Chains A and B, each alone.
Chain A
Amino acid sequence: DGGITQSPKYLFRKEGQNVTLSCEQNLNHDAMYWYRQDPGQGLRLIYYSQIVNDFQKGDIAEGYSVSREKKESFPLTVTSAQKNPTAFYLCASSPTSDREAFFGQGTRLTVV
């Protein structure tokens, strides 16, 4: 069935390790986004991509990296440079960058 799939749902990592969060969509959407959500907070933009092979930094890109080699995939790497990586990470996509965005179910990352 169609949609946005984030995996895994829960992820635990040791401090200092890089970790990659997966986001796949089979909706043929051009634009994809990564947001971070902390408890009781709104969503903050990490990175976004309006078209394959192109991406831009959001408001809180430091310590994160992305790639967009395929239209359907937009993986996010949380590097050891991210000072406070424990959070709920949400991936979204939209048909074009001026349309509504649809979200995956999120990955909860805990760094210990």
Chain B
Amino acid sequence: GENVGLHLPTLSVQEGDNSIINCAYSNSASDYFIWYKQESGKGPQFIIDIRSNMDKRQGQRVTVLLNKTVKHLSLQIAATQPGDSAVYFCAERVGNTPLVFGKGTRLSVIA
């Protein structure tokens, strides 16, 4: 089947800077996308989601952008903090089928 993938496997960011984590998807039928944060040894934690009828959604310090033309999803984290260090996964869904996950990007915050 079609998979969700990520452009960068690792990302190092200076504390206080903004982070941008990218994700490419190949299934044009996908209509729902989620970003998760996973800390070592723990389950993924929901960050933010977006449906395909939107191109931007904002949360607390996070913004998700969806570009359906090029099938690209990004997660922006403002003023990155040491506690943001984790692996970030994007996931996609078509209708009510289960989420399909990408391989993840590790974000390291340099103090």
Using a CB–CB distance below 8 Å, which chain A residues touch chain B?
A: 4, 6, 33, 35, 40-45, 48, 50, 58-59, 90, 92, 96-98, 100-106, 108
Q: 5 A-B pairs, CB-CB below 8 angstroms? A: A33-B99, A100-B34, A101-B46, A105-B42, A106-B42
Contact indicator B98/A42 (Cβ below 8 Å): no
Report A44 CB to chain B, min CB distance, Å.
8
Contact indicator B43/A100 (Cβ below 8 Å): no
B-side interface size class: 20 to 34
- Supposing A98-B93, A98-B95, A98-B96 touch, asked if A43 and B44 sit within 8 A by C-beta, the answer is yes
| Centre residue among B43, B49, B91 by max chain A CB count within 10 A | B43
Report A100 CB to chain B, min CB distance, Å.
5
Smallest Cβ-Cβ distance to B106: which chain A residue:
A40
Distance, CA A108 to CA B42, complexed state (A):
10
> With an 8 A cutoff between CB atoms, is B25 at the interface?
no
Contact indicator A42/B96 (Cβ below 8 Å): no
Report B40 CB to chain A, min CB distance, Å.
11
Across-interface contacts of B104 in A (CB, < 8 A): 41-42
Contact indicator A98/B102 (Cβ below 8 Å): no
Residue in A6, A40, A42, A100 whose CB lies within 8 Å of B101: A42
Across-interface contacts of A104 in B (CB, < 8 A): 43
Distance, CA A100 to CA B64, complexed state (A):
15
